[in-house]
């Protein structure tokens, strides 16, 4: 099982295990609250994620449909064309992305492919040049069993509801939740 620590967070690439991965727009990380320091890393992640949803700071570029479409296209391209992973669940929020994948390549290669392609396209849509789009680091969690897998799918797909953006997960156009009258990438049929 390869292990690497490119910047601050450790990463493992376990064989035959699904990974829950989250990454954020550059400049969107909230300052950690002092009480978070005593929490285990998983609970710290949940607290930070909830803080972003309740009171988002920094850029919100993913709220623009054309930008969200760039990210959705990158996710699907990585699965169907590059065959880097099997995509089980995903959601694109206004400032971060959650995915649940079964990797077929090293996570570093997967994240590089998704972030590079989507950042280039999103910056083109936004008319930005020479500025970072994604935070360099991402958070990943190795899924240990089927119960945890199901819990993570629910967490991902219910994220827009918890953030108060929609009442039903099916109403959010940028997720893996099946939608009546929508393609898997969020575009209308």
The pLDDT tens digits of the residues spanning 87-144 come to: 999 999 999 999 999 999 999 999 999 999 999 999 999 999 988 999 988 888 889 9
Structure-token match 């929490």, residue found: 39
Task: Give the chain's domain count.
Answer: 1
pLDDT of residue 58: 84
Residue 35 in 3-state DSSP? helix
pLDDT of residue 25: 94
CATH number at residue 156: 3.30.70.1290
Does the structure show a pLDDT above 80 at 10?
A: no
Whether 74 is in a domain gets the answer: yes
Give me the torsion for CA of 160, 27, 138, 96, rounded to 10°: 10
pLDDT of residue 40: 78
Could you tell me the sign of the dihedral formed by the alpha carbons of 154, 42, 138, 140, in that order?
negative
Whether 188 is in a domain gets the answer: no
Whether 186 is in a domain gets the answer: no
- Phi-psi category of 151—alpha, beta or left, where left has phi over 0 and alpha has psi -120 to 50? alpha
Question: In this structure, what token pair is assigned to residue 52?
Answer: 């972003």
More confident residue, 7 or 21: 21
Whether 155 is in a domain gets the answer: yes
- Strand order across the 85-92 sheet: 85-92, 96-103, 19-25, 134-142
Whether 11 is in a domain gets the answer: yes
14-18, 98-102, 105-109, 172-176 — which is least confidently predicted?
14-18
Does the structure show a pLDDT above 90 at 13?
A: no
Whether 76 is in a domain gets the answer: yes
Please enumerate in sequence order all residues whose Cβ is within 8 A of that of 25, keeping only pairs 6 or more positions apart, or say none.
58, 59, 60, 61, 62, 95, 96, 133, 134, 135
| pLDDT 10s digits, 134-146 | 998 888 888 999 9
| pLDDT 10s digits, 66-85 | 999 999 999 999 999 999 99
Average pLDDT over residues 45-59: 69
For the whole model, what pTM was predicted?
0.81
Mean per-residue pLDDT over the chain, rounded? 85
Q: Residue 18 has what DSSP assignment? A: -
Nearest to 92 by CA among 112, 76, 108: 76
Whether 116 is in a domain gets the answer: yes
**Domain span at residue 42?**
3-171
By the 8 A CB rule, do 19 and 101 touch? yes
pLDDT of residue 120: 96
Does the structure show a pLDDT above 60 at 9?
A: no
Whether 37 is in a domain gets the answer: yes
Using CA atoms, how far apart are residues 11 and 23, in angstroms rounded to an integer?
A: 13
Report how far apart, in Å, the C-alpha atoms of 166 and of each of 5, 45, 143, 161 are: 37, 23, 27, 5
pLDDT of residue 16: 76
């Amino acid at each position: 099982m390869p292990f690497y620590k490119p910047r601050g967070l450790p990463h493992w690439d376990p064989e035959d295990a699904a990974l829950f991965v989250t990454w954020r727009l550059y400049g969107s990380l909230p300052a950690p609250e002092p009480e978070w320091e005593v929490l285990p890393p998983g609970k710290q992640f949940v607290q930070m994620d909830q803080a972003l949803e309740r009171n988002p700071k920094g850029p919100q570029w993913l709220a623009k449909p054309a930008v969200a479409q760039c990210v959705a296209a990158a996710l699907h391209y990585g699965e169907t064309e590059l065959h880097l992973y099997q995509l089980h669940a995903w959601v694109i929020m206004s400032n971060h992305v959650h995915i649940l994948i079964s990797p077929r390549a090293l996570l570093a290669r997967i994240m590089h492919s998704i972030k590079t392609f989507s950042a280039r396209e999103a910056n083109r849509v936004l008319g930005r040049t020479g500025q970072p789009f994604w935070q360099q680091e991402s958070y990943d969690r190795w899924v240990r069993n089927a119960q945890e897998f199901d819990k993570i799918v629910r967490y991902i797909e219910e994220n827009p509801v918890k953030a108060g953006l929609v009442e039903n997960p099916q109403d959010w156009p940028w997720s893996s939740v099946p939608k009546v009258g929508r393609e898997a990438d969020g575009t209308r049929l």
